[in-house]
């Protein structure tokens, strides 16, 4: 197909509908006429073009403009497929349910979505996209509009997910500052061809702005990172694939939405923003994607704070409603390992016996180091000691563990006792330098007549004992005595 003589390429992050309007302007043709005559589109609207353009249109545009097809696709919301949602055309509720991990600290929240018959209103709704029946499906950043040589709407402005500008760190706006008409209408009309000015003539670039709260600005950065690089790293967690990250984000958005009678955790979360749950319940009854910008801003701010310094802020939110470790973990089983592991780690340190029993009874939750029972026993014991638990308490609270685990713990307790006895004996017998040599050396243990005999495999020359190994015999009271044995 012959290339058009004039074919300005799409601007950075420009929407397809906006690019088509600019092409029409280049040829001094009205956008509708241009669509009909040059692109064989009968009833185009910017919205359908940006969401689900006919595939033939994309290949035709690539042919006549010389723009790579991937770049043409990137002007549509299809660019977010496999990241924000599976496929833009996937039938809902399947698409929504795929995003609904069973997580949520409030009781029954975890099963709420899987039980729900109709999780979503509207047959063709997609996660993070404005519902089709909604009046507002486009937002804008006044600073971006002001700074653009040729103002053009961005793909991210078509997402309900986006609430702030990653470049200017201000909240987006939905409508004209002067007449209040949604910016959609400005653009949908195609009546004039500059996105910078409203139908009333007001300059959208001059609209006042509100700085994004720090938590929201941080979240906006993460979202931008995930969308542009395909992965994101939360504080203290391994890198998450973008799709996993957005699934988690969606699950938290759902968890703080007040949709049921009693949600103590979600209600307590909202109070930290200074919002009374009873006041916002009606607003949050509609799905996130259908909420006005102001509510989406608050929800995102809340969710961002919960994910900050994972899992410390989140655990603090659970402590506010005195949520115990086991029910909490039970309700958070849908978390990916990258987030579940740090959570388990912190909870484990708070109550090792209970948590270990729970983890062993719940398939698929054991941290990766657990198959190595020695490593597990060492961590377990360290955590118990940090809580000030004595041998007796540790033993009695660990009775319910399966035999191999209890044996590993018993070994660890024994090794600890040997370490203590050896340390004391060495401290009595030798200089600090020599003591250091003992403590860093591995030892093997056997049973001597007087009790346990620990053979210290150190360099004998350090003690000036060239032909002997030093041993520590430990009596039944846990006292150690150093002596030499001939090799």
202 counts as binding Zn ion under rule CB under 5 A:
yes
198 counts as binding Zn ion under rule CB under 5 A:
yes
Which of 40, 56, 135, 179 is the binder for Zn ion (CB under 5 A)? 179
Which of 11, 144, 280, 409 is the binder for Zn ion (CB under 5 A)? 144
Q: Contact region for Zn ion (CB under 5 A) — 14-22, 27-35, 194-202, 356-364?
A: 194-202
200 counts as binding Zn ion under rule CB under 5 A:
yes
Which DSSP symbol is given to 477? T
Q: Burial level of 385, CB count in 10 A (0-12/13-18/19+)?
A: middle
Q: Which residue has the tokens 């390429």?
A: 9
167 counts as binding Zn ion under rule CB under 5 A:
yes
Minimum CB–partner distance for residue 305 and Zn ion (Å)? 23
Minimum CB–partner distance for residue 185 and Zn ion (Å)? 9
58 counts as binding Zn ion under rule CB under 5 A:
no
Q: CA-to-CA distance for 386 and 392, rounded, in angstroms?
A: 15
Pairing of strands 451-456, 468-474: antiparallel
Minimum CB–partner distance for residue 363 and Zn ion (Å)? 47
Q: Contact region for Zn ion (CB under 5 A) — 197-205, 292-300, 353-361, 438-446?
A: 197-205
Which of 143, 281, 345, 385 is the binder for Zn ion (CB under 5 A)? 143
Compute CA distances 14 → 76, 201, 302, whole Å.
9, 23, 30
**Cβ contacts of 219 within 8 Å, gap of 6 or more:** 300, 301, 303, 304, 307
Contact 97, 119 (CB under 8 A): yes
DSSP assignment string, 401-412:
S-HHHHHHHHHH
Residue 482: CB atoms within 10 A of its CB come to 18
Tokens of 208: 């006042």
Minimum CB–partner distance for residue 165 and Zn ion (Å)? 3
Q: Contact region for Zn ion (CB under 5 A) — 118-126, 190-198, 374-382, 388-396?
A: 190-198
176 counts as binding Zn ion under rule CB under 5 A:
yes
Q: CA-to-CA distance for 52 and 306, rounded, in angstroms?
A: 34
Minimum CB–partner distance for residue 143 and Zn ion (Å)? 4
Most distant CA atoms of the chain, gap in Å: 104
151 counts as binding Zn ion under rule CB under 5 A:
no
Among positions 4-23, residues that touch Zn ion (CB under 5 A) are none
168 counts as binding Zn ion under rule CB under 5 A:
yes
Residue closer to Zn ion, measured from CB, 154 or 458:
154
Among positions 83-142, residues that touch Zn ion (CB under 5 A) are 141
Is residue 459 within a helix (H) or strand (E), and if so which, with residue range?
none
Which residues of the shown chain bind Zn ion in the complex (CB under 5 A)? 141, 143-144, 165, 167-168, 176, 178-179, 198, 200, 202
């Amino acid at each position: 197909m012959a290339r058009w003589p004039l074919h300005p390429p799409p601007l950075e992050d420009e929407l397809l509908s906006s690019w088509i309007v600019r092409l029409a302007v280049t040829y001094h043709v009205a956008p509708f006429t241009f669509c009909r005559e040059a692109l064989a589109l009968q009833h185009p609207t910017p919205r359908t073009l940006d969401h689900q353009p006919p595939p033939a249109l994309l290949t035709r545009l690539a042919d006549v403009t010389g723009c790579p097809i991937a770049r043409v696709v990137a002007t549509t919301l299809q660019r977010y497929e496999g990241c924000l949602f599976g496929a833009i055309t996937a039938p809902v509720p399947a698409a929504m349910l795929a995003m609904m991990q069973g997580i949520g600290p409030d009781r029954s929240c975890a099963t709420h979505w899987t039980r729900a018959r109709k999780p979503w209103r509207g047959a063709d709704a997609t996660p993070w996209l404005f519902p089709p029946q909604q009046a507002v499906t486009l937002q804008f950043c006044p600073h971006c509009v002001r700074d653009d040589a040729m103002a053009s709407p961005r793909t991210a402005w078509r997402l309900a997910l986006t609430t702030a500008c990653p470049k200017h760190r201000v909240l987006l706006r939905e409508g004209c500052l002067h007449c209040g008409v949604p910016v959609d209408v400005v653009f949908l009309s195609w009546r004039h061809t500059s996105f910078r000015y409203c139908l009333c003539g007001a300059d959208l670039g001059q609209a006042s702005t509100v700085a994004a709260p720090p938590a929201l600005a941080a979240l906006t950065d993460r979202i931008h990172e995930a969308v542009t690089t395909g992965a994101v790293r939360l504080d203290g967690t391994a890198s998450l694939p973008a799709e996993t990250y957005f699934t988690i984000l969606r699950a938290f958005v759902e968890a703080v939405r007040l949709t049921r009678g009693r949600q103590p955790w979600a209600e307590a979360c909202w109070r930290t923003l200074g919002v009374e749950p009873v006041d916002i319940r009606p607003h949050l009854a509609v799905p996130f994607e259908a909420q006005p910008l102001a509510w989406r801003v608050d929800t995102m701010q809340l969710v961002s704070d919960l994910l900050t310094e994972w899992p410390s802020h989140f655990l603090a939110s659970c402590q506010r409603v005195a949520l115990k470790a086991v029910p909490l973990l039970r309700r958070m089983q849908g978390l990916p390992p990258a987030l579940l592991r740090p959570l388990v780690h912190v909870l484990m340190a708070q109550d090792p016996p209970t948590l270990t029993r729970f983890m062993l009874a719940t398939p698929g939750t054991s941290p990766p180091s657990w198959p190595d029972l020695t490593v597990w026993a060492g961590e377990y014991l360290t955590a118990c000691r940090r809580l000030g638990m004595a041998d007796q308490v540790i033993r009695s609270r660990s009775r319910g563990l399966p035999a191999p685990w209890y044996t590993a713990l018993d070994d660890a307790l024994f090794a600890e006792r040997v370490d203590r006895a050896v340390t004391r004996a060495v401290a009595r017998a030798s200089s600090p330098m020599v003591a250091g040599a003992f403590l860093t050396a591995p030892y093997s243990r056997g049973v001597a007549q007087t009790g346990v005999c620990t053979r210290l495999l150190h360099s004998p020359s350090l003690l000036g004992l060239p032909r002997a190994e030093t041993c520590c015999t430990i009596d039944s009271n846990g006292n150690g005595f150093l002596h030499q044995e001939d090799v």
